Amino acid sequence: MNAGAKLAALNKFRGSPSMRAPQTRVLVVYDVQVKTPDVSQVPLVINYDLPKAVEEYAHRVAPAIAPSYSRAGVVVNFVTATGGDVEMLRSIECFYKIKCPEVPMSLRDIV
């Protein structure tokens, strides 16, 4: 997308949903930081790849965890066993003093 199309998509996402029919709004962002003032609370952030630096993680998840929101969103990180993902996730946990629990491979393990 060019810059104009990106801005139009972000403005459409920010707009209020229609009163006639309920909508599920999805914003897919690739390698772009969405600033918290640009987008109000996001209930779900999915990281298909982890950032290259731990400091970048906060910018990616900020719309889901901003302290001004009444309810925190959920952040899901996809991590592979190869390529340094596990090490980066451990570095993120240490840097931010958080714990990212592992989701079981089977839903039966959590239901």
Whether 30 and 47 have beta carbons less than 8 Å apart is answered as: no
- For 61-87, what is each residue's pLDDT tens digit? 876 776 665 667 788 898 988 889 999
Which residue range forms the structural domain that includes residue 39? 34-111
Task: Output the pTM of the full model.
Answer: 0.66
Number of domains in the chain: 1
77 within a domain of the structure (yes/no): yes
15 within a domain of the structure (yes/no): no
88 within a domain of the structure (yes/no): yes
Distance CA 109, CA 85 (A): 24
83 within a domain of the structure (yes/no): yes
50 within a domain of the structure (yes/no): yes
Distance CA 35, CA 85 (A): 24
pLDDT level of residue 24 (50, 70, 90 thresholds): low
20 within a domain of the structure (yes/no): no
27 within a domain of the structure (yes/no): no
pLDDT of residue 56: 87
